[in-house]
Amino acid sequence: MRLAGRHVLLGVSGGIASYKSCTLARRLAEAGARVDVVLTRAAAEFVRPVTFEALTGRPVLTSLWTPGTALDHVRLPADADLLVVAPATADFLARAALGLADDLLAAMLLARTGPVLLAPAMNDAMFAHPATQENLATLRRRGLHLVGPEVGPLAEGPSERPGRMSEPEVILAHAERLLHGAGRLSGRRVVVTAGATREPLDPVRVVTNRSSGRMGYRLAEAAWARGAEVLLLAGPGTLPDPVGVAVRRVETTVELEAAVREALPAADVLVMAAAPADYRPAAPPDRKRSRQAGALQVTLEPTADILAGTRAVRPVGAVVVGFALETGDAVAKGRAKLERKDLDLVVVNDALEPGAGFEHETNRVTLIDRDGGERALPLLDKRAVAEAILDAVEVRLG
């Protein structure tokens, strides 16, 4: 429950994208937030209040004049940790820029002193209009945060144009980052490696392993949500880039090593969640091997130990986290790895454990720190594991 105890005011104005705000309301509630939804009169034409009420388990507000809610327009914006308006229509942006308070949502925005996140969405001509552009510039200058709009198909047709509301997951990620505020990872530079590398056997075939990269992706996502500037060095794969994170693709262990060495001097935290290939075919031919040639014997040579190789270039005070995927006696082997590679933290898991490790959305790990601390976590989804790892990283950053 990443947003447990947090209070989010979700304003919805009258755009066609308001159907996606149902998903956003749900995701916020699922993350543990208390979500109070405020609809403009136009929004209630698109999605009825009862839908949001059912999704959030809370009464939905639609008017300044509902009996029993007289001071909600000032009380709720003062109480909420975050005000999100999604979608923010051209009309709403204009009223916000003017400082109007002619309906409940506009009045709440005017009464709000804490963080505000707006997700504009409209037809591309409405978005390009100088009035809208000036209103957006005014709101940005006043310190409101904007997410989107994106370029994509609009309600009017399939062609790609600017004006589409960001997806609920993207808005959620931005909301989370704002809710974390000036957390301990705020402004820190975090480098995360993820996935397998692959080594050529010939120009067509590769030697690789079963790592999907999910653990590293969840770590990158979670670190960005905590306010960090994140660089993800990722092996080949099909996972979507995490919101806000800079992603650099690598193929082989040599490429990953070079990318880590380049990024490390500026890093406050290095998390090596990748599973680099430990062996590579020696002297791969530059032509495809033919099956007709019969049985194939390949000499595999060990690749470089990336983590151990970073010892000389680690910035003073940087927190370095390694992963140890073992089969049997995992904790003892993890502790030995921590010492051998001079790590601050090692995340140990057993590859033979059901539901954990490669190709799963869940993982069961034990965290071992440099001072001998050991914490065995239950089977959790990888985002929750990532949060626990980052909690431990934050303690070590001080």
Ligand X SMILES: Cc1cc2nc3c(=O)[nH]c(=O)nc-3n(C[C@H](O)[C@H](O)[C@H](O)COP(=O)(O)O)c2cc1C
Question: Exactly one of 123, 135, 209, 349 is catalytic; which is it?
Answer: 209
The residue among 158 and 378 lying less far from ligand X, judged by its C-beta, is 158
Stretch binding ligand X (CB under 6 A), from 70-78, 89-97, 332-340, 382-390: 89-97
Of the pair 107, 230, the CB lying nearest ligand X is at 107
Give catalytic status of residue 349 as yes or no: no
Quote the tokens at residue 225: 């949500």
Region near ligand X per CB under 6 A, out of 26-34, 90-98, 171-179, 348-356: 90-98
Site membership for ligand X, residue 330 (CB under 6 A) = no
For ligand X, the closer of residues 49 and 284 by Cβ is: 49
Given the complex with ligand X, which of 42 and 239 has the nearer CB atom? 42
Binding-residue total with ligand X (CB under 6 A): 15
DSSP for 365-393, written as a single string: -EEEETTS-EEE--SEEHHHHHHHHHHHH
Cα separation values, 323 from 307, 349, 350, Å: 10, 8, 11
Q: What is the separation of C-alpha 2 from the centre of its chain, rounded to a whole number of angstroms?
A: 12
By the rule CB under 6 A, 52 interacts with ligand X: no
Backbone angles phi, psi at 347, to 5 degrees: -105, 115
Contacts of 193 (CB under 8 A, 6+ apart): 216, 232, 233, 234, 256, 260, 271, 272, 273, 274, 276
Report, in Å, the least distance between residue 130 CB and ligand X: 15
Shortest Cβ 46–ligand X spacing (Å): 7
Nearest approach, Cβ of 154 to ligand X (angstroms)? Answer: 8
Residues between 237 and 266 with contacts to ligand X, criterion CB under 6 A: none
Stretch that binds ligand X, among 40-48, 214-222, 275-283, 327-335 (CB under 6 A): 40-48
Using CB under 6 A, which residues numbered 3 to 32 contact ligand X? 13-17
Q: How far apart, in whole angstroms, are the C-alpha atoms of residue 308 and residue 337? A: 10
Q: Select 105 or 179, whichever has its Cβ closest to ligand X.
A: 105
Residues forming beta bridges with residue 116, ordered by sequence position: 83
Containing 119, the helix (H) or strand (E) segment is: strand 116-120
To ligand X, the closest distance from the beta carbon of 149 in angstroms equals 9
Distance CA 15, CA 117 (A): 17
177 and 170 Cβ atoms separated by less than 8 Å:
no
Hey, which residues between 171 and 230 contact ligand X (CB under 6 A)? none
Q: Sign of the CA dihedral 40, 42, 43, 44? A: positive
In sequence order, which residues have a C-beta less than 8 Å from that of residue 173 and are 6 or more positions away? 221, 224, 225, 242, 243, 244
Q: What's the min distance (Å) between Cβ of 243 and ligand X?
A: 22
Exactly one of 2, 26, 42, 284 binds ligand X (CB under 6 A); that residue is: 42
Among 51, 56, 89, 197, binds ligand X (CB under 6 A): 89
Q: Residue 295: which residues within 8 A CB-CB, separation 6 or more? A: none
Q: Which of residues 94-153 bind ligand X (CB under 6 A)?
A: 121-122, 126
Sign of CA dihedral 127, 129, 135, 136: positive
Nearer Cβ to ligand X (38/390): 38
- The partner residues of 61 in beta bridges, in order of sequence, read 38
91 scored as a contact of ligand X (CB under 6 A): yes
Q: In this structure, what are the phi and psi dihedrals at residue 331, rounded to the nearest 5 degrees? A: -65, -45
Does the protein bind ligand X through residue 92 (CB under 6 A)?
yes
Among 21, 40, 166, 253, binds ligand X (CB under 6 A): 40
Segment lying near ligand X (by CB under 6 A), choices 37-45, 248-256, 313-321, 347-355? 37-45
Query: What positions carry a catalytic annotation?
Result: 209
What residues make contact with ligand X under the rule CB under 6 A? 13-17, 40, 42-43, 89-92, 121-122, 126
